[in-house]
Structure 1
Amino acid sequence: MYTARIAKIVMVACLAAFCLLVVFGNLTDYQSNFLFVQHVMSMDTTYPGNKLMYRAVTEPAYWQAAYRLIIFGEATAGILFLAGAIRLLLVRRQPGAVFDRAKALTVMGALVAFLVWFFGFMVVAGEWFAMWQSATWNGQEAAFRFYMTALAVLIFVMLPDRDLKEPFPVAADPKPAGAPAKAAAPKSQTAPAKKKAPVKKKAPAKKAPAKKRTRAKTSAAKTSAAKTSTAKTNTSKTSTATTAAAKRRLAAANDKIGEGS
């Protein structure tokens, strides 16, 4: 979906803007943000008498090195996010596989951002230097908001992208607009042809000869039955005549026998 791709590009660009603005603020207001690193590493605002004070770093050179490392990590994440957004923007019209491969820079940017804001601020500063005990120099909530935002954007960006069904929207072309009208014409012509098909109407006409044939067969059967009954009648008449002749012959024979005696 093209809209989802645009949303991913915009979100990655927003992460880049945040990281680069943080770097800009740290460079232009170097001393104010340097104090944060100094107090966190020296642990001078933690609970009094806590047994973690052996972890405190009081050398200014280490403060400077840590602060510059943080700025470098933030700048690296911002540049990777910006390059990732530009890369995705350039391939936004390409197939899904190409767009997915272009997400590598965004993944690298999210990794660096996670290392800076989670490992740097939550693990090292928050737990090792007990930043959570400080009421003044505690940046855990701000760090949590950003690295969770970066992870949420990364999850959304890494959702697989399917191929676009249509290319990037362009100005309407009259020829493609006329194509559906031409394609619709055969459908309207085919519809009447289907309606005119006299399949059901011809059915009675086809059945008419069958009735005639049935009647013819019935009449033929009746004729045959009549002939059979006539033949039976003739046969019975013949047998009756034969019986009468036999009786006459028998009577004549009896008469002759009577005369002879």
Structure 2
Amino acid sequence: MAVRISKTLLVGSIGLLALVIVLNNLTDYNANFQYIQHVMSMDTVFADSQLTWRAITSSPLQRAVYAIIISTEFAIALLCLLGAVRLAQDLGSSGDAFNRAKATAIYGLTLAFLFWFVGFMVVAGEWFTMWQSLDWNGQQPAFRFIGCVGLVLIYLSLNDSDLAA
């Protein structure tokens, strides 16, 4: 039972993290939008970069991307929080039932992993060369999210019989 409770709480905590991020992005919209603007416009990358042709400076397009980011974070929050509720409902169920209850949480955690890895490491980090910016490089925070989410996803995916209770 301890392992199941632990898995449920960890999934819920990832959902809570995503929900707070959504609230932050909505309540401090302009401050967080500046991050998107600088990364997409590539205005703080190396001066001699040959990759700035990738820059997107259109404010409406940047706002659309930001809306997609916030929507994805909300989907992560919703899936993880609903997944935690589903897990909590099946805490005392059979192993097969509890494993089936993991689906929503696994979808949420997978979306979170893909969002922070593909969105921040691949697209922002490499395509828009965010790593070149001293002021707007979000790769380290993204990596922390990827690590936390990845560990919870692996832990959740293990069968309870594989772990000591």
Q: Cα deviation per residue 1:138-192 (whole Å; 9 max; x = unaligned)?
A: 0000000001111100111111124xxxxxxxxxxxxxxxxxxxxxxxxxxxxxx
Structure 1: 5+ residue runs without aligned partners? Answer: 163-261
| Equivalent-residue separation in structure 1 for 2:156 and 2:122 (angstroms) | 26
Answer whether contact 1:97 1:161 (CA < 8 A) is retained: no
The 10-residue stretch of structure 1 (115-124 or 80-89) with the greater mean CA deviation from structure 2:
115-124
1:96-143 Cα distance to aligned partner (Å, 9 max, x none)? 000000000011001211221110111000000000000000000000
Partner residue of 1:27?
26
What is the DSSP-based 3-state SS (H/G/I as helix, E as strand, rest coil) of the residue aligned with 1:92?
Answer: coil
CA contact 2:14–2:77 (8 Å) conserved in 1: yes
Q: Which 5+ residue runs of structure 2 have no aligned equivalent?
A: none
Is contact 2:110-2:153 (8 Å) kept? Answer: no
Pairs within 5 Å for 1:68-217: 68-162=67-161
Q: Which has the larger radius of gyration?
A: 1
Aligned residue pair count: 161
Query: How well do the aligned residues superpose, as a CA RMSD in angstroms?
Result: 0.7
The answer to whether residue 2 in structure 2 is matched with residue 14 in structure 1 is no
Give CA deviations for 1:46-70 in whole Å, capped at 9, x if unaligned: 0002100111111101110110110
Percent identity for Structure 1 against Structure 2:
47
Superposed CA offset, 1:193-240 (max 9, x none): xxxxxxxxxxxxxxxxxxxxxxxxxxxxxxxxxxxxxxxxxxxxxxxx
Runs of 4+ in 1 over 2 A off after TM superposition: none
**Does the Cα contact within 8 Å between 1:99 and 1:161 map onto a contact in 2?**
no
Do the aligned residues in 2 keep the contact of 1:88 with 1:103 (CA within 8 Å)? yes
Give me the whole-angstrom Cα distance separating, in 2, the residues matched to 1:53 and 1:161.
49
CA distance in 2: counterparts of 1:160 and 1:71, whole angstroms: 32
- Structure 2 distance, partners of 1:7, 1:154, is 12
Larger RCO, structures 1/2 (Cα 8 Å, 6+ apart)? 2
TM-score normalized with structure 1 length: 0.61
Superposed CA deviations along residues 65-88 of structure 1, whole A, max 9, x for unmatched, are 110110011000010000000000
